[in-house]
Amino acid sequence: MLQKEHFKLLMPLNLFHTMAHIYPYFLPILCQIIREDVDFLSYTQIGIISMTILLVTIPLTIALGFIGDIIRKWRFELIALGFILIVSHTFVIYVANSFAVLLVAGVVVGIGSSVFHPIALPLLSQEFGANRNLAHSFNLIFGTVGSIATPIATLGLSNWLGWRNTALIFGIFGSICVPLLITFLLLSKKYLHFIPQHTAVVGERVYTSKSRKNNKVQLKYLLGFVSLPFIALISAQVIRTGIFRLMNTFTSFIFEDRFGFSRMSSALIMSLVLGAGGIAALISGFVSIKAGSLKTFLWSKVANTIAAVGVVLFIGGIVITNTPNSQGLGIVAIILFVLLSSSFYFGNPSSNSILAEIIPLEILSSVYGIITAIMTAFSATVPVIFGAIVDQGYSFPYEYLLLIFLSLIPLLLLIYVKSKLGFKTPQQIEDERALKNNGELNSTVEDSTKVS
């Protein structure tokens, strides 16, 4: 279980995670209001702004993953710099008088939002050992708070004060938080304990990173985790992100357009759905300590597939039977989307933690950065496909079949991974890692010393 010192390290990262789920989504949500107030923003331009944010984020996420492994001592400072950048884009929005200026704000958002996840999430896995699942679950629920607050605050303030003043308020709020959060973050640096291994054991020889030849041997050792089960696991993680992107993009639209809720009610429903997911993620952290990351992840995908089928059958049945909207149908829809979100988020802590159980911790940030970039690129295409199917105007809502595909395929891949790796608890993983890093390494070093 987490100790007092663990929380001293975890809490500032949790607060930054909340910010990392507020400011990156602020501009896309605000564009819904901007387009109604000015004549320089079209649907196509909104799509270009969203695409620009992702195009900037993807390569920088990869780069920052490598940077996080190379300059570990400065990771907290990088997180702080990313937050400063992402807050600054709100002031760009405030003075925007053209599409080009909003595009500049999108570039700044992309740069700032690329920092936190490839640096902070691997750090949690490195620092918390067998408790990493719990650390990720607490961290996720703080991120979810940001996801809940953003649509409500953005739409509510914009309806009251206008979109420019809303951008200014977000900017002032972030500016006030900057020195407080950075101070809190830097004070927690003394609780960092992870020290990477600089030695690789191959056969009966010990290689350190003191020469070019030994560096190559060590790199080969570190990349030994790449296998078919690993590729299947990453594929499952990439494909499942499509559901996350659909929920964050279209939940409010679905309840407004298909079930007749008002815009504000739809935003509240979206917050409820995401909030339920955050609670599920917190519960998952405690469950996965006993059950193990892979087993919890697998359970999550079973439940997620069932929930996806339920959503498709429910909405498809309404369309086929031409059933008129009613309060009862709206309530059923909310319940189904809560189940969809909860089952998805239940797998998030174990999804993050299982990477640290397979990938050497020394290069975790680098690999995580690459994986996150792939996830971002894939998930960015899913709303486009969903929207394109909607625009075709089919009599049956075929777009919802994507939910089944995005949950069932990862489930099948995880069943394959389980058949190859089996189930282990986080403590078993850490015990095996300690035995390998300490027992085998010390024994081999002694043998090598005797030979020399």
Q: Are residues 83 and 232 in the same domain?
A: no
What's the chain's average pLDDT? 84
Q: Are residues 405 and 316 in the same domain?
A: yes
Determine contact, residues 89/27, Cβ cutoff 8 Å. yes
Rounded Cα distance, 133 and 189, in Å: 21
397: three-class secondary structure by DSSP:
coil
Handedness of CA 163, 165, 169, 171 (dihedral sign): positive
Q: Are residues 244 and 143 in the same domain?
A: no
**Closest residue by Cα to residue 119 from 209, 200, 185, 190:** 185
% of the chain exceeding 70 in pLDDT: 89
Number of domains in the chain: 2
Q: Are residues 71 and 154 in the same domain?
A: yes
pLDDT of residue 221: 54
Does residue 66 lie in a domain region? yes
Q: Are residues 44 and 104 in the same domain?
A: yes
Quick: pLDDT tens for 79-127: 999 999 999 999 999 998 888 899 999 999 999 989 988 999 889 888 8
Specify the range with the lowest mean pLDDT, choosing from 29-38, 145-154, 159-168.
29-38
Q: Are residues 231 and 156 in the same domain?
A: no
pTM: 0.82
Which residues, in sequence order, are CB contacts of 67 under 8 Å at separation 6+?
78, 119
Q: How far is CA 124 from CA 91, 138, 152, 365, 391, in A?
A: 32, 11, 29, 10, 42
Quick: pLDDT tens for 364-394: 888 889 998 999 889 888 888 888 888 787 7
Q: Are residues 397 and 307 in the same domain?
A: yes
> What is the CB-side half-sphere exposure of residue 1 using CA atoms within 13 A?
2
**Closest residue by Cα to residue 273 from 328, 333, 316, 326:** 333
Q: Are residues 150 and 249 in the same domain?
A: no
Output the domain CATH number for residue 304: 1.20.1250.20
- Note down the domain range covering 384: 226-421
